Protein backbone atom coordinates (compact mmCIF):
# COMPACT_ATOMS: atom_id res chain seq x y z
CA UNK A 1 0.00 0.00 0.00
CA UNK A 2 1.31 3.52 -0.82
CA UNK A 3 2.56 5.49 2.15
CA UNK A 4 0.24 8.31 3.23
CA UNK A 5 2.36 10.04 5.86
CA UNK A 6 3.39 13.63 5.24
CA UNK A 7 5.71 16.29 6.66
CA UNK A 8 3.05 17.51 9.09
CA UNK A 9 2.91 14.01 10.59
CA UNK A 10 6.69 14.06 10.99
CA UNK A 11 6.64 17.51 12.54
CA UNK A 12 4.06 16.44 15.12
CA UNK A 13 6.05 13.27 15.84
CA UNK A 14 9.13 15.37 16.63
CA UNK A 15 7.17 17.85 18.76
CA UNK A 16 5.51 15.12 20.84
CA UNK A 17 8.87 13.36 21.27
CA UNK A 18 10.43 16.58 22.54
CA UNK A 19 7.58 17.75 24.76
CA UNK A 20 6.40 14.28 25.85
CA UNK A 21 2.80 15.41 25.73
CA UNK A 22 0.08 15.09 23.10
CA UNK A 23 -2.03 17.72 24.88
CA UNK A 24 0.78 20.29 25.14
CA UNK A 25 1.57 19.95 21.43
CA UNK A 26 -2.12 20.22 20.58
CA UNK A 27 -2.45 23.45 22.59
CA UNK A 28 0.69 24.96 21.05
CA UNK A 29 -0.41 24.04 17.52
CA UNK A 30 -4.04 25.06 18.16
CA UNK A 31 -5.28 21.61 17.22
CA UNK A 32 -7.57 19.16 18.92
CA UNK A 33 -5.65 16.54 20.88
CA UNK A 34 -7.46 13.87 18.89
CA UNK A 35 -6.06 15.39 15.66
CA UNK A 36 -2.50 15.16 16.97
CA UNK A 37 -3.02 11.60 18.18
CA UNK A 38 -4.61 10.65 14.84
CA UNK A 39 -1.65 12.10 12.89
CA UNK A 40 0.82 10.09 14.95
CA UNK A 41 -1.30 6.97 14.56
CA UNK A 42 -1.38 7.43 10.77
CA UNK A 43 2.40 7.83 10.71
CA UNK A 44 2.81 4.65 12.78
CA UNK A 45 0.45 2.75 10.51
CA UNK A 46 2.26 3.84 7.36
CA UNK A 47 5.67 3.03 8.82
CA UNK A 48 4.49 -0.23 10.30
CA UNK A 49 6.05 0.71 13.65
CA UNK A 50 4.92 1.84 17.08
CA UNK A 51 6.69 5.12 17.87
CA UNK A 52 5.29 5.83 21.37
CA UNK A 53 4.41 3.76 24.41
CA UNK A 54 1.00 5.00 25.55
CA UNK A 55 0.19 4.10 29.13
CA UNK A 56 -2.81 5.58 30.90
CA UNK A 57 -1.83 8.55 33.06
CA UNK A 58 1.77 8.61 31.86
CA UNK A 59 3.62 10.82 29.45
CA UNK A 60 4.13 9.23 26.02
CA UNK A 61 7.54 7.56 25.85
CA UNK A 62 9.45 6.83 22.67
CA UNK A 63 9.80 3.18 21.79
CA UNK A 64 13.16 1.89 20.56
CA UNK A 65 11.87 2.35 17.00
CA UNK A 66 10.80 5.90 17.83
CA UNK A 67 14.22 6.72 19.25
CA UNK A 68 15.88 5.27 16.15
CA UNK A 69 13.77 7.37 13.76
CA UNK A 70 13.65 10.65 15.71
CA UNK A 71 16.90 12.15 14.39
CA UNK A 72 16.05 11.04 10.84
CA UNK A 73 12.75 12.89 11.15
CA UNK A 74 14.49 16.00 12.45
CA UNK A 75 17.00 15.95 9.61
CA UNK A 76 14.24 15.55 7.01
CA UNK A 77 12.46 18.59 8.45
CA UNK A 78 15.74 20.55 8.43
CA UNK A 79 16.24 19.63 4.78
CA UNK A 80 12.77 20.92 4.00
CA UNK A 81 13.59 24.22 5.71
CA UNK A 82 16.74 24.46 3.60
CA UNK A 83 14.74 23.75 0.44
CA UNK A 84 12.19 26.44 1.25
CA UNK A 85 14.95 28.89 2.15
CA UNK A 86 16.94 28.19 -1.00
CA UNK A 87 13.83 28.68 -3.15
CA UNK A 88 13.17 31.98 -1.37
CA UNK A 89 16.74 33.12 -2.01
CA UNK A 90 16.45 32.22 -5.71
CA UNK A 91 13.18 34.09 -5.97
CA UNK A 92 14.68 37.18 -4.34
CA UNK A 93 17.90 37.16 -6.35
CA UNK A 94 20.69 39.41 -5.09
CA UNK A 95 20.17 40.94 -1.66
CA UNK A 96 19.28 44.63 -1.47
CA UNK A 97 20.48 44.72 2.14
CA UNK A 98 22.87 42.64 4.21
CA UNK A 99 22.74 42.83 8.01
CA UNK A 100 25.92 41.47 9.57
CA UNK A 101 26.27 40.75 13.29
CA UNK A 102 29.71 39.98 14.67
CA UNK A 103 31.29 39.14 17.99
CA UNK A 104 32.94 42.33 19.19
CA UNK A 105 36.26 40.48 19.53
CA UNK A 106 36.29 39.34 15.90
CA UNK A 107 39.62 40.24 14.21
CA UNK A 108 38.82 43.65 12.75
CA UNK A 109 41.32 43.71 9.87
CA UNK A 110 39.83 40.70 8.02
CA UNK A 111 36.35 42.16 8.52
CA UNK A 112 37.35 45.56 7.09
CA UNK A 113 39.26 44.05 4.16
CA UNK A 114 36.30 41.81 3.32
CA UNK A 115 33.82 44.69 3.46
CA UNK A 116 36.03 46.73 1.18
CA UNK A 117 36.00 43.95 -1.43
CA UNK A 118 32.25 43.49 -0.94
CA UNK A 119 31.65 47.18 -1.70
CA UNK A 120 33.47 46.86 -5.01
CA UNK A 121 31.63 43.72 -6.11
CA UNK A 122 28.17 44.82 -4.90
CA UNK A 123 28.24 48.65 -5.10
CA UNK A 124 24.49 49.07 -4.58
CA UNK A 125 24.26 46.77 -1.55
CA UNK A 126 23.22 48.36 1.74
CA UNK A 127 25.21 46.93 4.68
CA UNK A 128 24.30 47.20 8.35
CA UNK A 129 26.92 46.17 10.92
CA UNK A 130 26.22 45.26 14.55
CA UNK A 131 28.66 44.09 17.23
CA UNK A 132 28.00 42.45 20.55
CA UNK A 133 29.33 40.24 23.31
CA UNK A 134 28.97 36.48 23.37
CA UNK A 135 25.43 35.30 22.68
CA UNK A 136 24.29 38.53 21.04
CA UNK A 137 25.15 37.39 17.51
CA UNK A 138 23.17 34.15 17.65
CA UNK A 139 20.26 35.95 19.31
CA UNK A 140 20.10 38.55 16.53
CA UNK A 141 20.05 35.80 13.91
CA UNK A 142 17.29 33.85 15.67
CA UNK A 143 15.22 37.04 16.09
CA UNK A 144 15.76 37.87 12.38
CA UNK A 145 17.57 41.08 13.24
CA UNK A 146 20.64 39.93 11.29
CA UNK A 147 21.16 37.90 8.12
CA UNK A 148 24.75 36.79 8.68
CA UNK A 149 26.76 36.21 11.84
CA UNK A 150 30.48 36.02 12.55
CA UNK A 151 31.10 34.44 15.93
CA UNK A 152 33.33 32.10 17.88
CA UNK A 153 32.31 28.46 18.10
CA UNK A 154 30.52 27.24 21.19
CA UNK A 155 28.46 24.12 21.78
CA UNK A 156 25.06 25.58 22.57
CA UNK A 157 24.12 27.12 19.25
CA UNK A 158 20.36 27.53 18.59
CA UNK A 159 18.92 24.70 16.52
CA UNK A 160 17.49 27.14 13.94
CA UNK A 161 20.97 28.17 12.80
CA UNK A 162 23.38 26.67 10.30
CA UNK A 163 27.09 27.30 10.78
CA UNK A 164 30.34 26.81 8.94
CA UNK A 165 33.90 27.07 10.24
CA UNK A 166 35.94 29.78 8.51
CA UNK A 167 39.25 29.61 10.38
CA UNK A 168 40.71 30.05 13.84
CA UNK A 169 42.26 32.64 16.15
CA UNK A 170 45.21 31.86 18.42
CA UNK A 171 44.80 32.28 22.18
CA UNK A 172 47.69 33.51 24.34
CA UNK A 173 48.32 33.77 28.08
CA UNK A 174 48.74 37.39 29.21
CA UNK A 175 48.96 39.63 32.25
CA UNK A 176 49.54 43.32 32.92
CA UNK A 177 53.12 44.61 32.64
CA UNK A 178 53.15 45.31 36.40
CA UNK A 179 51.57 41.96 37.43
CA UNK A 180 53.71 39.62 39.61
CA UNK A 181 53.71 36.99 36.83
CA UNK A 182 55.18 39.42 34.30
CA UNK A 183 58.74 38.97 35.55
CA UNK A 184 58.80 35.19 35.04
CA UNK A 185 60.44 33.70 31.95
CA UNK A 186 58.04 30.77 31.91
CA UNK A 187 55.00 30.15 34.09
CA UNK A 188 53.77 26.78 35.26
CA UNK A 189 50.20 25.74 35.95
CA UNK A 190 50.91 25.94 39.67
CA UNK A 191 52.16 29.53 39.35
CA UNK A 192 49.13 30.57 37.32
CA UNK A 193 46.83 28.96 39.87
CA UNK A 194 48.23 31.25 42.58
CA UNK A 195 46.74 34.34 40.93
CA UNK A 196 43.24 35.46 39.95
CA UNK A 197 42.17 34.24 36.52
CA UNK A 198 39.96 36.38 34.28
CA UNK A 199 37.66 34.14 32.24
CA UNK A 200 35.27 34.64 29.36
CA UNK A 201 31.55 33.84 29.79
CA UNK A 202 29.34 32.44 32.51
CA UNK A 203 30.19 29.01 33.83
CA UNK A 204 27.56 26.98 31.92
CA UNK A 205 28.18 27.91 28.26
CA UNK A 206 30.87 25.44 27.06
CA UNK A 207 32.73 28.36 25.48
CA UNK A 208 36.44 27.83 24.63
CA UNK A 209 38.68 29.15 27.35
CA UNK A 210 35.97 28.91 29.98
CA UNK A 211 37.61 26.30 32.25
CA UNK A 212 39.44 27.74 35.27
CA UNK A 213 42.78 26.53 36.56
CA UNK A 214 42.88 29.06 39.40
CA UNK A 215 40.60 28.77 42.45
CA UNK A 216 40.03 32.54 42.26
CA UNK A 217 38.23 33.70 39.10
CA UNK A 218 36.36 36.65 37.68
CA UNK A 219 34.22 36.29 34.56
CA UNK A 220 33.04 38.62 31.79
CA UNK A 221 31.19 38.12 28.50
CA UNK A 222 33.63 40.28 26.52
CA UNK A 223 37.32 39.79 25.75
CA UNK A 224 37.73 43.57 25.75
CA UNK A 225 36.20 43.83 29.22
CA UNK A 226 38.70 41.22 30.37
CA UNK A 227 41.53 43.20 28.75
CA UNK A 228 40.51 46.33 30.66
CA UNK A 229 40.46 44.43 33.96
CA UNK A 230 43.76 42.79 33.13
CA UNK A 231 45.52 46.11 32.47
CA UNK A 232 44.66 47.16 36.03
CA UNK A 233 46.52 44.15 37.36
CA UNK A 234 43.33 42.38 38.49
CA UNK A 235 44.38 39.00 37.11
CA UNK A 236 45.83 37.07 34.18
CA UNK A 237 43.84 35.77 31.23
CA UNK A 238 43.72 33.87 27.96
CA UNK A 239 42.98 36.34 25.19
CA UNK A 240 42.91 36.17 21.39
CA UNK A 241 46.25 37.30 20.01
CA UNK A 242 44.71 40.06 17.91
CA UNK A 243 43.11 41.56 21.05
CA UNK A 244 46.49 41.58 22.81
CA UNK A 245 48.01 43.28 19.75
CA UNK A 246 45.45 46.10 19.80
CA UNK A 247 47.52 49.34 19.90
CA UNK A 248 45.96 50.53 23.16
CA UNK A 249 47.02 47.36 24.97
CA UNK A 250 50.41 46.55 23.48
CA UNK A 251 52.61 48.43 25.95
CA UNK A 252 50.53 47.41 28.94
CA UNK A 253 50.26 43.63 28.46
CA UNK A 254 52.89 40.92 28.68
CA UNK A 255 52.52 37.61 26.86
CA UNK A 256 53.52 34.81 29.21
CA UNK A 257 55.42 31.74 28.05
CA UNK A 258 53.21 28.90 29.25
CA UNK A 259 52.09 25.49 28.07
CA UNK A 260 48.67 26.09 29.62
CA UNK A 261 46.39 27.72 27.09
CA UNK A 262 43.06 26.72 25.54
CA UNK A 263 42.75 25.62 21.92
CA UNK A 264 42.46 28.26 19.24
CA UNK A 265 39.07 29.94 18.93
CA UNK A 266 37.23 28.61 15.89
CA UNK A 267 35.60 31.42 13.90
CA UNK A 268 32.26 30.45 12.42
CA UNK A 269 29.80 31.84 9.95
CA UNK A 270 26.17 31.44 11.05
CA UNK A 271 22.82 32.05 9.39
CA UNK A 272 19.22 30.92 9.69
CA UNK A 273 18.54 27.57 8.05
CA UNK A 274 15.30 28.82 6.50
CA UNK A 275 17.03 31.87 4.97
CA UNK A 276 20.16 30.66 3.13
CA UNK A 277 22.93 33.00 2.16
CA UNK A 278 22.48 35.17 -0.91
CA UNK A 279 25.34 36.01 -3.30
CA UNK A 280 26.57 39.04 -1.34
CA UNK A 281 26.59 37.13 1.95
CA UNK A 282 28.45 34.23 0.32
CA UNK A 283 30.99 36.66 -1.12
CA UNK A 284 31.59 38.28 2.28
CA UNK A 285 31.99 34.87 3.94
CA UNK A 286 34.48 33.65 1.32
CA UNK A 287 36.61 36.81 1.46
CA UNK A 288 36.59 36.91 5.26
CA UNK A 289 37.80 33.31 5.37
CA UNK A 290 40.70 34.22 3.04
CA UNK A 291 41.71 37.29 5.06
CA UNK A 292 41.38 35.41 8.36
CA UNK A 293 43.80 32.74 7.14
CA UNK A 294 46.19 35.48 6.05
CA UNK A 295 46.56 36.92 9.56
CA UNK A 296 46.96 33.41 10.99
Q: Poorest-confidence range of 54-58, 132-136, 208-212?
A: 208-212
Question: Which ranges of 194-278 would DSSP assign to H, the alpha helix?
Answer: 223-231, 241-244
Residue 178 sits in the same domain as residue 259: yes
* Cα–Cα dist 224/3, whole Å: 57
* Cα–Cα dist 145/121, whole Å: 24
What mean pLDDT is reported for the chain?
87
Which of 90, 115, 133 terminates a domain? The answer is 90
pLDDT mean over 255-273: 87
Residue 258 sits in the same domain as residue 176: yes
Tally of structural domains, the chain? 3
pLDDT at 56: 64
pLDDT at 277 exceeding the cut of 70: yes
Residue 159 sits in the same domain as residue 279: yes
Percent of the chain, pLDDT > 70? 92
Domain enclosing residue 282, as ranges: 94-166+266-295
pTM to 2 decimal places: 0.65
pLDDT at 101: 94
Residue 213 sits in the same domain as residue 289: no
What CATH number does the domain containing 193 carry?
3.40.190.290
What CATH number does the domain containing 159 carry?
3.40.190.10
Residue 117 sits in the same domain as residue 35: no
Residue 32 sits in the same domain as residue 62: yes
pLDDT at 201 exceeding the cut of 80: no
Burial of 130 (0-12, 13-18, 19+ CB in 10 A): middle
pLDDT at 209 exceeding the cut of 60: no
pLDDT at 205: 52
DSSP assignment of 173-207: EEEETTSGGGG-SS--HHHHHTS-EEEES-TTS--
**150 and 100 in contact (C-beta within 8 Å)?**
yes
* Cα–Cα dist 117/2, whole Å: 53
pLDDT at 1: 46
2 inside domain: no
* Cα–Cα dist 296/280, whole Å: 24
Banded model confidence at residue 207, pLDDT cuts 50, 70, 90: low
pLDDT tens digit string along 55-95? 766 788 899 999 999 999 998 988 888 787 767 666 666 77
pLDDT tens digit string along 220-256? 888 889 999 999 999 999 999 888 988 888 889 999 9
Choose the most confident range, by mean pLDDT, from 69-73, 120-124, 210-214, 291-295. 69-73
Residue 248 sits in the same domain as residue 102: no
pLDDT at 102: 93
pLDDT at 217: 93
Residue 284 sits in the same domain as residue 150: yes
**261 and 187 in contact (C-beta within 8 Å)?**
no
* pLDDT greater at residue 157 or residue 194: 194
Percent of the chain, pLDDT > 90? 43
Which of 61, 90, 119 terminates a domain? The answer is 90
Amino acid sequence: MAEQWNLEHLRLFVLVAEQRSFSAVARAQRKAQSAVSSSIAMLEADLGLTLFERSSGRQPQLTEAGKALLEDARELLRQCERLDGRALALMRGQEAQLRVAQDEAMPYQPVLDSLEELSRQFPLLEVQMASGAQGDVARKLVERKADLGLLFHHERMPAALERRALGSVEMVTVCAAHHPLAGLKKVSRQQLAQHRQLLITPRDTDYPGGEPISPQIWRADSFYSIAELLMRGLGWAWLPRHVVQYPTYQAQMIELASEWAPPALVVELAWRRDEPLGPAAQCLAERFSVHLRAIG
